[in-house]
Amino acid sequence: MNRNDRLVVEVTVVGKDRKGVVADVTNFIFKNDGNIEQINQRVINGLFGMQLEASFQQREFRKEPFDTELKSLAKKLRMEVKVHYEEPKRLKNIAIFVSKESHCLIKLLDAKAAGKIRANIVVIVGSENTTNSIAEKYQIPFYHIVHSQQTDAEIEILEIMDRYNVDLIALGRYMRILTPNFVWRYPDRIINIHPSLLPAFPGAYAYVQAYERGAKIVGCTAHFVTEDLDQGPIICQESFRVRQRDTVESIKRRGQKLEAVTLLEAVTLYLENRIQVNWGRVVVKNTK
């Protein structure tokens, strides 16, 4: 199939585990003359998640009947089935998730304002209300989502993502752990920035761990989010040398500047279609 004639469709299936789901979905793709490019499925605590990427002949594909039949299949399976179309001619829509810290958020918003990001930043979701004024300054809708249970928060957030037709989610120091129920709906479309050179020093207090262990090089990692905390495919990493006079606070300040730059780099690579994930490893395509 010629790449110029190819339409790529991503189908995600999430729901209570039951037999026959993979067969039903793959048969649906074949019946519609699609070619399965990749497929992954997992079951965690009785929750089934599948991510499938299929390609179709652009000229022969009919979107409306495909969507209608897929809704019927979802009803039959008693699962949530979503479809995401790769549309190269449309600017992608980005959602930014934040908590208290604003450095990554401001970096992305400034890059958009300067024309360095070819995408629409359509919504900001905050687990805290501290960045609301920044959203107002840039005239971007802000949603403060507070729930004692993350699963409850995600129900509300998923509705917001659908409303704004979000293609990519950037976690700009969002200090909540996303559940598999959420992550499986956006395979390789959630980018996180972590304050250490993964796989070392996971968790929220990476700079403190680095200081206490006497690390001589400290950095940060931009990676895709999976159901395994801080274990997703690494997109890019940056680092700096620790000086003798550095304290935890000075390391944190230096690290935050680097976090913002690295997250922007990862988002830019994604938007330029230069990232490919092969067997859990990110390959960055050269533009030359």
The domain that holds 124 is classified in CATH as 3.40.50.170
Mean pLDDT within 226-236: 88
Mean per-residue pLDDT, 193-219: 79
Is 167 a known active-site residue?
A: no
CATH number for position 76: 3.30.70.260
Asked if 197 and 191 touch (Cβ cutoff 8 Å), the reply is: no
Hey, what's the torsion of the CAs at 11, 13, 14, 17, to 10 degrees?
Answer: -160
Distance between CA atoms of residues 138 and 168, nearest Å: 19
Q: Is the pLDDT of residue 88 over 80?
A: no
232 and 129 co-located in one domain: yes
Residue 81 above 80 pLDDT?
yes
Give the pLDDT confidence score for residue 3 in this predicted structure. 52
pTM: 0.86
What is the mean predicted confidence (pLDDT) over 36-64? 92
Q: Which of 62, 85, 108 is the last residue of a domain?
A: 85
Q: Are 80 and 98 contained in the same domain?
A: no
Same domain for 109 and 28: no
- The tens digit of pLDDT for each residue in 145-163 reads 988 888 899 999 999 999 9
- State the number of CA atoms in the 13 A half-sphere of 192 facing the CB: 30
pLDDT at 1: 46
Q: Which of 167, 228, 230, 246 is catalytic?
A: 230
Query: How far, in Å, CA of 221 to CA of 119, rounded?
Result: 22
pLDDT recorded at residue 202 = 67
Count how many domains the chain has. Answer: 2
Does one domain contain both 61 and 104? no
Confidence at residue 2, expressed as pLDDT on a 0 to 100 scale: 47
Residues 156 and 264 in one domain: yes
* Same domain? 17 vs 112: no
What's the gap between Cα 164 and its chain centre?
15
What's the DSSP call for residue 173?
Answer: S
Which pLDDT tens digit goes with each residue over 51-74? Answer: 999 999 988 899 999 999 999 999
Please give the structure tokens belonging to residue 127. Answer: 């687990």
Residues 80 and 105 in one domain: no
Tokens at 282, concatenated: 């990110």
**Mean pLDDT calculated for residue range 128-138:** 95
Is the domain of 77 the same as that of 108?
no
Radius of gyration of the chain (CA): 20
Highest mean pLDDT among 44-48, 56-60, 241-245, 259-263: 259-263
pLDDT at 147: 83
Containing structural domain, residue 59:
3-85
- Please state whether the peptide bond connecting residue 180 to the residue before it is cis, i.e. omega within 30 degrees of 0: no
Q: Measured between alpha carbons, how far is residue 284 from residues 197, 248, 266 in Å? A: 18, 33, 10
Pick the most confident of 55-59, 98-102, 195-199, 203-207. 98-102
Residue 198 has pLDDT above 80, yes or no: no
Mean pLDDT of 100-104: 95
* Pairwise CA distance, residues 279 & 60, whole Å: 31
Question: Are 109 and 239 found together in one domain?
Answer: yes
Q: Are residues 225 and 278 in the same domain?
A: yes
Chain segment 170-195, per-residue pLDDT in tens = 999 999 999 999 999 998 999 999 98
In whole angstroms, what is the distance from residue 277 CA to residue 180 CA?
A: 19
Residues 48, 176 within the same domain: no
The mean of the pLDDT values for the chain is: 90
How do beta strands 93-98 and 168-171 pair?
A: parallel
Q: Are residues 176 and 238 in the same domain?
A: yes
Of 85, 120, 142, which marks where a domain is finished? Answer: 85
- Element (H or E) spanning 260, and its range? helix 248-271
Least confident of 11-15, 83-87, 256-260: 83-87
